[in-house]
Amino acid sequence: MAVYIYTFYKFHYMFILPQEKIKYLTKNSCKFIPIEWQLILANEGSFTQILNSLSGKKIHINMLQKNHYTSKNMNKHIRCIWLENSIYTKFIFARSIWIFTYLDTIDNIIQANKPIGNSLINSQVDTYKNIHEIYYGYSKDLEQKFQNHQPLWGRKYTLYYKNKSSVTIQEFFSPYIINFFYI
């Protein structure tokens, strides 16, 4: 099965770990997912801040796509970004789909060239993260961008604000990230 995650990135799933198994992952060790990846994938905090701490360098955002759709009932905002360091090493590709239930509140908080997690933390907005799935697979396009030809880990989750879903995020991680555990 393949899914298009951006206009030209095709991802082929080798397996998907559904939500009910993720809860098990956070309580017990999972033999087929290396412990470093378990720590990354089950993390419920701001991954950008963790990446800053692991790498010891400031992480930058490179915006690829930003669209805003408005219908009678709903405003949607789609954003595709790369998180990378100052020498353009790509660590994460992320796609977020925002449903602006609280358009005035959230839209003013999320800064265009800042990671979502950092913007929410700096603005002291209380959100809840619900991880829906963790996946493993491959994408020739993403592997080329990451400059690493290994299978990729990813996850999909929703952030809730005032008990309503506000954004769903898909993230695909560079295999290089686990090297930070060995420095």
What integer pLDDT is reported at residue 151 of this predicted model? 93
97-154 per-position pLDDT tens digit:
876 655 445 555 555 555 555 555 555 556 668 889 999 999 999 999 999 999 999 9
pLDDT at 183 over 70: no
The domain that holds 56 is classified in CATH as: 3.40.1410.10
Q: What is the pTM of this model?
A: 0.81
What integer pLDDT is reported at residue 148 of this predicted model? 92
Number of domains forming the structure of the chain: 1
Contact 65, 79 (CB under 8 A): yes
Strand partners, 114: none
Enclosing domain of residue 124? 2-182
